[in-house]
């Protein structure tokens, strides 16, 4: 297998992991939140934090490496055109994702404390959940746009 196909396969898998893990995490966190059950939310958030660490963080590291290598192999300029826009959107995604990771950890801890105390979820949990939910929209939209740019390769 040549280098181009190997890099392209790794890049496509990484993009798929980012998109799929993001959608899955959002779905499971939202479904757990809707129950209002602190123990279930804490359990789900524990799994989500692990998934973000194992899958999302790995893909976050691999994507720019394989993308830069692909651009080099093909001869595309790295910081202009659709690749430059993809990189800008990648930064937007990261600026949303980093606080989301911190929020997920806090949501897990707040839900766990409420479950252990036999108390309802505190208001702080609900404020953080709203922030987590709202940060997901620009992050997910940016990832979708990046995938479209990768596929369409529009000329600007």
The answer for residues whose C-beta is within 8 angstroms of residue 1's C-beta and 6 or more apart is none
CA dihedral angle for residue 83, residue 87, residue 89, residue 94, rounded to 10 degrees: 160
Structure-token match 């108390």, residue found: 119
- The average pLDDT across 25-41 equals 98
The yes-or-no verdict on residue 1 having pLDDT over 90 is: no
CB 26 within 8 A of CB 136: yes
What are 62-101's pLDDT values in tens digits?
A: 999 999 999 999 999 999 999 999 999 999 999 999 999 9
Token duo for residue 64? 């720019």
Nearest to 72 by CA among 87, 57, 83: 83
- Which band of pLDDT confidence, cut at 50, 70 and 90, is reported for residue 128? very high
DSSP state of 122: P
Give the span between the Cα atoms of 127 and 58, in whole angstroms. 29
Please state, for a pLDDT cut of 90, what percent of the chain lies above it.
98
How many CA atoms, within 13 angstroms, populate the side-chain half-sphere of residue 152? 13
Asked whether residue 115 carries a pLDDT value surpassing 80, the answer given is yes
Mean pLDDT for the stretch of residues 37-54: 97
Domain boundaries, the chain: 3-151
């Amino acid at each position: 297998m040549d280098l181009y196909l190997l890099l392209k396969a790794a890049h496509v898998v990484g993009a798929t992991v980012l998109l799929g893990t993001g959608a899955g995490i959002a779905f499971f966190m939202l479904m757990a939140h809707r129950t209002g059950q602190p123990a279930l939310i804490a359990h789900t958030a524990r799994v989500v934090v692990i998934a973000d660490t194992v899958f999302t963080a790995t893909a976050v590291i691999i994507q720019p490496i394989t993308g830069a290598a692909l651009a080099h192999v093909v001869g595309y300029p790295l910081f202009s055109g659709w690749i430059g826009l993809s990189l800008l959107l990648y930064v937007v995604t990261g600026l949303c994702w980093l606080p989301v990771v911190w929020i997920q950890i806090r949501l897990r801890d707040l839900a766990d404390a409420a479950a252990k105390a036999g108390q309802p979820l505190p208001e702080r949990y609900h404020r953080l959940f709203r922030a987590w939910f709202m940060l997901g929209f620009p992050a997910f939209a940016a990832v979708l746009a990046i995938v479209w740019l990768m596929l369409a390769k529009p000329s600007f």
